[in-house]
Amino acid sequence: MAEFIRSEILGTTFETTSRYANLQPVGLGTAGIVCSAYDLISEQAVAVKKMMKPFDSTAIAKRTYREVKLLKHLRHDNLINMSDIFISPLEDVYLVTELLGTDLHRLLSAKPLEGKFVQYFTYQILRGLKYIHSAGVIHRDLKPGNILINENCDLKICDFGLARLQEPQMTGYVSTRYYRAPEIMLTWQRYGKKVDMWSVGCIVAEMLLGRPLFPGTDHINQFYLITELLGNPPDEVIERITTKNTRRMMQSLQKFKPKPLREVFPAADDEAINLLEKLLVFDPDQRYSAEQGLKHPYMAPYHDPMDEPVATEKFDWSFNDAELPKETWKIMIYSEVLDFFQMGTLPNDTQPIDQTQPQFQLPTDLFPDIDLQELPATIDPTTFAQMDFFADGQLPV
């Protein structure tokens, strides 16, 4: 069994294996605390995320399972990649990933971006999204704070806690307001991967502008700012609104004509403005996809169709509609952790797991009534009905 070392960080207990040293807090959110650390085996700096109270409720346990499973499956140069995962004696889940120096939000808060950086970052975001969407996954929470960057200008998308598949009906309250697609605010019961593309448009605009494009103070003000710039939504968009109150509100809005984006971005390249015009579109059916964005002339200096991979297989969402008790999600999370160390190689032909790392063992004292040796490496949630386990980085100048 791996040795765990306990320390107090930002008022919470961190329990990490002896593999990680020199923990320093770098981020705090509702879902967890992130520390930088030194990996004594790989001899590299890493990020260690403690997921807060991962088994506190059924909803949180399911979200934890989803994020762990997604990080195992999604492997791409422009996505944050998981190198280790463990569950501590206090039953907290820890995810270990690459450590990048800063995020786009901090970068934009510190200094304006030159056009060449805007272009290169946009390319990497689109490249990562092409892969994510090809796996049947929608990120749903793209924003500058979820886009990590290092000193070499390498960019990686992170935080898949809200990621979902495209499905007939989806919950409406997702993503940070400034980057939220109109179809989410208009309470459509069905939306898809194009919600991420609206977020890309808002992020590109913010990189060009140096501030958020639509900094709404609330839901209504957010939509007012959008219509003030883009004009009122076309009738075919309003007809898709599923709630009468929202449709009535939309029909009562002040009438706006679209403004030329050149007035808002006087110093931007013509091609950058044209790409924004393809992304900031009310109708998601008319909005650019990630693949279309990569083919846009603005991306020509970097676009290489032979080096913009897609997922080799779709992500398995069979668990998504399962209504299971939190104890069951807990067992499934343990199964995913165990499977991570038994795979030998990671999904999509990535590098083999470092076999010199401490061997993971399930803490048998947590489940005295279960023979963990008989637990399958991966668990199909549909089988539980028949089972009786539980009735500031700097860019180069």
Q: Catalytic site residues?
A: 141
DSSP secondary structure code for residue 126 in this structure: H
Q: 108 with 210: CB under 8 angstroms?
A: yes
Q: Is 8 helix (H, G, I), strand (E, B) or coil?
A: strand
Alpha-carbon distance 333 to 85, whole Å? 11
Distances (CA, A) of 114 to 66, 120, 150, 156, 209: 37, 10, 16, 19, 11
What 56-59 contacts at long range (C-beta under 8 Å, 24+ apart), as own/partner pairs, is 56/326, 57/326, 58/324, 58/325, 58/326, 58/329
Residue with tokens 């809005």: 253
Q: 39 with 45: CB under 8 angstroms?
A: yes
Work out the burial of residue 343: count CB atoms within 10 Å of its CB; fewer than 13 is exposed, 13-18 middle, 19 or more buried.
middle
Tokens, residue 19: 């593999």
Q: Give the CA-trace dihedral at 177, 183, 187, 192, to 10 degrees.
A: -100
Q: 215 with 225: CB under 8 angstroms?
A: yes
Alpha-carbon distance 55 to 179, whole Å? 30
Alpha-carbon distance 382 to 22, whole Å? 42
Tokens, residue 118: 């805007």
Alpha-carbon distance 148 to 136, whole Å? 22
Tell me the β-bridge partners of 28: 33
301: which residues sit within 8 A by CB, 6+ positions away? 119
Tokens, residue 14: 């961190």
Tokens, residue 185: 């605010």
Alpha-carbon distance 187 to 223, whole Å? 13
Residue 275's nearest CA partner among 304, 295, 305 is: 295
